Structure 1
Amino acid sequence: MNLQGKVALITGASRGIGRAIALELGQQGVKRLILVARDRRKLREVAQEIEAMGVEATTLAIDLTQVTEVNIAIAQIWRSYGPIHLLINCAGVAYQNSFLRSKIPQLQEELSVNLLGMYTLTSLIAKRMASQRQGTIINVSSLMGKVAAPTMATYSATKFAILGFTQALRQELAEYNIQVKALLPTLTDTDMVRDLKLFRWVIPMTPQQVAKALVIGLKKDTPEILVGWQSHLAVWCQRLAPGLLELILKIAAPTGAAKPSFLTKFQRFADLFWTEPRFPFVFARKP
C-alpha cells in the first residue's frame, strides 16, 4: 500500500502502539491522520506532534462502545475529510487474573472494547469503503491471538476472535477491493503492559518497533503481520511441538506456584542468559 496522500484512522491513538503507529504514519507521508481514543488531552498532544511533521491531524475523543455516538461521528468525519483509505483498529484493554479469580466487570470491558467497539467501527467504515471500492483494514491482534496465555484467558480469547473476524472479512471484502490484515505483536512495552506481571524470559518490544513492522507489512501482500522473533519462535513451536510450548508457558506464567527444582535451575540459567550484556537486543523481524 502506498501511504502517500492517504487518510488513515487509528483507534487507541493516545498511547502505546496506537500512538507509535500514528507517528510512524506521519513520517511516511500520509495526508491526514484521524486519531481516536477516549482521552482528549492525550489525543491533542499526539496531534501536535503529527502537525509538527506537516501532516494534518484530527482528534476524535469518543467511547467506541457507544454505538450511536460512533455512528454520528464517523458520518461527520467522512463528510468533512473525504474517504478513509486506511483503518487501524488498535484500541484495547487487558486484565490479568487467574481464571478462578476473574471478575465479570473486567470481562465485560475486554469484550466491549476489544471486540464490540472494533466491530462497530469496522462495520461503519467498511460499508463506506465498499461504496468507494477501495480501502485497507488492519486489526491489531496479538501473539496471544495465536498462543493463549495463562492468567490472560479473556484477553487471549478476544485476540483469537479478532483473528477469526479478520480472516472472514478478508474473504468477504476482497470483491470490493478492500484488503484486511491482522497485526500480531508480541509483548510490547506500553502503559497497559506495565500494570501486568510479565512472563519469564519474554523481552518486551517497543511500540516504535511494532509501528515500523506494520509499515513494512503494509507494503507486502501478507494477510498476517507477525512482529518480533519471539512471536515467530512461539508460533513455530506451537506447530512443531505444542506439548513443549504448553510446558514452557506453564513454567513462564506469573502464577506464583511452586516449581520442581530442576525447572527452577533452568529458569535461573535462562535469566542469566537473557540478562547478559552481550544479549541486549530486541528486533522486529520483517514479516
Structure 2
Amino acid sequence: MDIQGKTALVTGASRGIGRAIAIELAQQGVKRLLLVARDRQKLAQVAGEIKALGVEVVSLPLDLTRPVLINTAIAQAWRDHGPIHLLVNCAGVAHQAPFLHSKLPKVHEEIAINLMGMYTITHPVARRMAKQGEGTIVNVSSLMGKVAAPTMATYSATKFAILGFTQALRGELAEHNIRVMALLPSLTDTDMARDLKLFRWVVPMTSQQVAQVLVNGLRRESAEILVGWQSHLAVWFNRLAPWLLEKILLMAAPLSRERQKRYQKFVGSLNLSAK
C-alpha cells in the first residue's frame, strides 16, 4: 500500500504502539489522520505532535465498547473528512494473573476492548471501504496470538481470536479490493507493558521499531507482519518443537518456582500417559 496522500484511522492512538504508528504514518506522508482513544487529554497531545509535522489530524475521543457512538462517529467522520483508506486497530489492554487468581471484570475488559472493540469499529469502516472499492485494514495482534504463555490466558485468547478474525476477513473482503493484515509485535516497551511482570530473557522492542516494521509491511502488503527476531524464532520453534517452546515459556514465565515444579510434573505425567 502506498500511504502517500491517504487518510488513516488509528485506534489506541493516545499511547504506546498506537501513538508510534500514528506519528510514523504522519512522517511517511499520510495526508490525514483520525485518532481514536478514550483519553481526551493524551489524544490532544498526540494530535499536537502530528499537526507540527504538517499533517491534518482529527481527534475522536471514543470508547470502543459503545457501538452506537462508534457508528455515529464513523458516519460523521466519513462525511466531514472523506473516505478512510487505512484502518489500524491498535487499541488494547492486558491484565496479567495466574488463571486461578484472575478477576472476571478484568477478563471482560480484555475481551470487550481487544476483540469486541476491534469488531465494533471495523464493521462500519469496512462497509464503507467496500462501497468505495478499496481499503486496507491492519489488526494488531501479538506474538501471544501465535504462542500463548502462562499468566496471560485471556490476553492470549483475544490475540489468537484477532488472527482468526483477520484471516476470515481477508478472504471475505478481497472481492471488494480490501486488504486485511495482522501485525504481531513481541514484548514492546510501553506504559502498558511496564505494569506487567516481564518474562525472563525477553528483550523489549520500542514502539517506534514496531511502527517502522508496520509501514514496511504495508508497502510489501504482507498478510502477517511479525516484528523482531524473537517473534520469528518463537514461531519457528512452535512449528518444529512446540513441546520445547512450552517448556521454555514455563521457565521464562513470572511464576513461583513451586508452581513451575508442579506444572512440569503435571506435563510430564501427561506425556507418560500418552506413550
Task: Give the TM-score band, short-chain normalised.
Answer: over 0.9
Stretches of structure 1 that go unaligned for 5 or more consecutive residues are: 261-287
Tell me the secondary structure at the aligned position of residue 65 of structure 2.
coil
Give the structure 1 partner of residue 155 of structure 2. Answer: 155
Are residues 1:114 and 2:114 paired? Answer: yes
Give the partner amino acid of 2:49: E
TM-score (norm 2): 0.94
Tell me the secondary structure at the aligned position of residue 73 of structure 2.
helix
How far has the Cα of 1:113 moved from its partner?
Answer: 0.3
- Deviations 1:77-126 (CA, angstroms, capped at 9, x unpaired): 00000100000000000000000001100010000000111001000100
How far has the Cα of 1:250 moved from its partner?
Answer: 0.7
Q: Distance in 2 between matches of 1:257 and 1:196?
A: 18
Q: Distance in 1 between matches of 2:75 and 2:85?
A: 15
Tell me the secondary structure at the aligned position of residue 220 of structure 2.
coil
Stretches of structure 2 that go unaligned for 5 or more consecutive residues are: 262-275
Q: Distance in 1 between matches of 2:114 and 2:84?
A: 21
Tell me the secondary structure at the aligned position of residue 84 of structure 1.
coil
Are residues 1:188 and 2:181 paired? Answer: no
Give the structure 2 partner of residue 210 of structure 1. Answer: 210
- Deviations 1:16-35 (CA, angstroms, capped at 9, x unpaired): 00000000000011110000
Give the partner amino acid of 1:195: D
Please state which structure has a larger fraction of its residues in helix: 2
Give the partner amino acid of 1:18: G
The residue correspondences of 1:134-173 to structure 2 (distance < 5 A) are 134-173=134-173
Give the structure 1 partner of residue 51 of structure 2. Answer: 51
How far has the Cα of 1:257 moved from its partner?
Answer: 2.2
Give the partner amino acid of 1:29: G
Give the structure 2 partner of residue 101 of structure 1. Answer: 101
Q: Distance in 2 between matches of 1:191 and 1:145?
A: 20
- Deviations 1:174-213 (CA, angstroms, capped at 9, x unpaired): 0000000000000000010000000000000000000000
Tell me the secondary structure at the aligned position of residue 219 of structure 1.
helix
The residue correspondences of 1:15-30 to structure 2 (distance < 5 A) are 15-30=15-30
Q: Distance in 1 between matches of 2:94 and 2:117?
A: 14
Q: Distance in 2 between matches of 1:227 and 1:248?
A: 20
Q: Distance in 2 between matches of 1:93 and 1:202?
A: 20
Tell me the secondary structure at the aligned position of residue 20 of structure 1.
helix
